[in-house]
Amino acid sequence: MDESAGIYLNDRLVSLAEARVSVLDHGFLYGDGVYETMRVYGGVVFMMEEHLARLEKSASLIELRLPKSPRQIKLAIYETLEVCGHKDAYLRVTVSRGEGPIGLDPELCPRPTFFVYAGRLKPPPRDYYEKGITLAMVHTRRNLMEALDPQIKSLNFLNNIMAKAEAKKAGAHEALMLNHRGQLAEGTTSNIFFVAKGALCTPGPGCGILRGITRDVVLGIARRLDMKVVEGEFGEEDILGASEVYITSTIMEVVPVSRFTGGRTKDFPGAGEVTRALMAEYRKEVSSYVENTKAAGPSIWGFTE
């Protein structure tokens, strides 16, 4: 438990002991709600606007009206960060359908529950970046887009939890899920990229993925570096034929894959040339974002150094 974490519940900062939600909250009963995970560097929330836009989109896709405006959410975020004891922090904003009688009808819940958590960041071990991780192809398929669109970052994470459990049993750090058509989709909390035939490839949004914010940042960097980028449809054989593989996520940033296990196993030499370049550029991008945000002066959201 992180005693120095900041917690904001509904309309105010609360202590961990006060941070209690009803057992009749539909987030608890049905996984009915949405969330965002953000990474805070030196007190600055990286890509906050993009994360809040995705929160809004996830909410609208489940017909949930956010109980606060973007400005109010930012204020809550910065208040929470200010009481949290960490400048490099893990930040999560959660909005559930709220408390209501048992039953699936969203109208049973008049008031969404809003919750911000800012706590100690546990970055992945250095080994992940230096040696790479193991990625296992799992049997669990990514949710069918027409059933529960993976674009919705919902509180119902069982699809990914089952895939993660499978990967763990296979001794891997992360799972690679296929979509129902047998095409590469994504990891349990990450997007996948690989380098093949001189191009940087990644499954396109039509493959049923969460469009990662880190993914978009990395695609932007790759295009700026004049790399050939292909967002398309791929299969396991494409990974087996790749020279480099890596995953991306807000918390992990860019992590090389050194072993892929599926129908067959393939070893990669840790971070290859392209991956190394993108890892370095990503860190630079974060640094300039943080510098620019700080240079914009004391934040209009009331956050001070």
Comparing every residue's Cβ against ligand PMP, the nearest one is: 212
191: contact with ligand PMP by CB under 6 A: yes
203: contact with ligand PMP by CB under 6 A: no
Question: 108 vs 121, which CB is nearer to ligand PMP?
Answer: 121
Applying CB under 6 A, among 140, 250, 258, 293 the residue interacting with ligand PMP is 250
221: contact with ligand PMP by CB under 6 A: no
| Number of chain residues interacting with ligand PMP (CB under 6 A) | 14
293: contact with ligand PMP by CB under 6 A: no
CB of 270 closer than 8 Å to CB of 257: no
CB of 168 closer than 8 Å to CB of 219: no
Instruction: For residue 213, count CB atoms less than 10 angstroms from its CB and return exposed for 0-12, middle for 13-18, buried for 19 or more.
Output: buried
Report d(CA 123, CA 90) in Å as an integer.
Answer: 9
Question: 33 vs 100, which CB is nearer to ligand PMP?
Answer: 33
Question: 109 vs 172, which CB is nearer to ligand PMP?
Answer: 172
Kindly state the smallest distance separating residue 80's Cβ from ligand PMP, in Å: 19
Kindly state the smallest distance separating residue 185's Cβ from ligand PMP, in Å: 9
Among positions 22-51, residues that touch ligand PMP (CB under 6 A) are: 37
How close are the terminal C-alpha atoms of the chain, in Å? 26
179: contact with ligand PMP by CB under 6 A: no
202: amino acid identity, one letter = T
265-267 vs 253-261, strand pairing mode = antiparallel
Question: 40 vs 109, which CB is nearer to ligand PMP?
Answer: 40
Which of these segments, 57-65, 79-87, 188-196, 279-287, binds ligand PMP (CB under 6 A)? 188-196
Angle separating helix axes 213-224 and 273-295, nearest 10 degrees: 110
Applying CB under 6 A, among 133, 163, 195, 213 the residue interacting with ligand PMP is 213
The continuous run of DSSP H or E covering 294 comes out as helix 273-295
Report d(CA 77, CA 303) in Å as an integer.
Answer: 10
Applying CB under 6 A, among 186, 238, 244, 285 the residue interacting with ligand PMP is 186
Kindly state the smallest distance separating residue 136's Cβ from ligand PMP, in Å: 16
Beta bridge partners of 230: 201
140: contact with ligand PMP by CB under 6 A: no
Report d(CA 296, CA 287) in Å as an integer.
Answer: 14
210: contact with ligand PMP by CB under 6 A: yes
Cβ neighbour number for residue 146 with a 10 Å cutoff:
8
Q: What is the DSSP string of 184-211?
A: EEE-SS-EEEEEETTEEEEE-GGGT---
Contact residues for ligand PMP (CB under 6 A)? Answer: 37, 160, 186, 189-191, 210, 212-215, 248-250
